[in-house]
Structure 1
Amino acid sequence: MLDDTGLKMMELGGKGYCCSQILILLALDEMGRENPDLIRAASGLCNGLGDCSGLCGVYTGAAMLLGLYGGKGEDMEESVDVLPLMLEELRDWFAAATTQYGGMACRDILDGRCGQPDAARCGGLVSAAYAQVREILVNNGLDPSEGRSLS
């Protein structure tokens, strides 16, 4: 049985959002925020950077999430000190999570079927990545429900 996050992921996928966009939408929803520009920007990460040859959108979207919570966004703001370590932890986790597919590229995960997301593989990775990002944030003293302050 799916939990609320799983149901929300399915709903967003059904509306045509890709993996990277779904991750951002989940985080924005948790923070009680909306940002259509950020969602549009995340579409550049869809389908392994467009042609399935690049890194999976789940990975790049999850990295984008860590940046959303820990990156520099204003002139007088700095990235959190642990951002590079959080990104490294995410990379190591994703590399291990995708070993069974032979790599971290969209093409590897989809077994060469570019443009045809696999509900089980992609949905499972989105769900696991979202949970992993939340765990990384909490373990580094960042609240997933808060995000960075808005000016």
Structure 2
Amino acid sequence: MSLNLEDAVVKNLERGYLCSESVIKGAAEYLGMPWEHLPAIATGLGGGIGGTAGVCGALTGAVLALGLATGRNAPDQDFYACAGLVQELVDRFRERFASTDCVDVLGLDLRTDEGRIQAMAKGLPNLPCKECCLFVARYIAENTSPSR
């Protein structure tokens, strides 16, 4: 497990990045693949895919990160190297948090004014988002190798 990756993800959260952005940005740096546009790629995943309360942004950000680390760049490359890790992560995440949906993990519905107000008042680092981000960061660190 890499405390540097976990620290980077939490630092990103504290700086105001969404959970999905925090995970992909931290993982890309950990993997030696920093790119200034990576948080933007993950923005639409925050709040359970665009604030719809669907699949957790930390989880979807981690799926992107696993793709960076183990994904294919050509059709003839192995799909299952990445897919197997994603399937295992989703299963472990569901086991740990009882759901993969943001609304269930947060206990707040970000589609409502009340849910958004409560979430903003608490701040992402103080919501279950931090625990979710740390969980996926540990999984990424345990199952990938930094390029540096």
Q: TM-score range by the shorter chain?
A: 0.7 to 0.9
CA contact (8 A) 2:12 2:26 kept: no
Cα separation, partners in 2 of 1:134 and 1:7, compared to 1, 3 Å: closer
Structure-to-structure mapping, 1:15-94, within 5 angstroms: 15-73=15-73, 75=74, 78-79=77-78, 81-94=80-93
Structure 2 Cα separation of the partners of residues 112 and 120 of structure 1? 10
Shift of 1:15: 2.2
Question: What is the aligned partner in structure 2 of residue 108 from structure 1?
Answer: 104
Q: Percent identity?
A: 24
TM-score (norm 1): 0.76
Over residues 33-84 of structure 1, what are the superposed CA-to-partner deviations in whole Å (9 max), with x where a residue is unaligned? Answer: 32122221111111101224210001111111111111123x4772464222
Alignment RMSD = 2.4
Counterpart of 2:27, as a letter, is: A
Structure 2 Cα separation of the partners of residues 4 and 134 of structure 1? 9
Structure 1 Cα separation of the partners of residues 103 and 135 of structure 2? 19
Question: What is the aligned partner in structure 1 of residue 113 from structure 2?
Answer: none
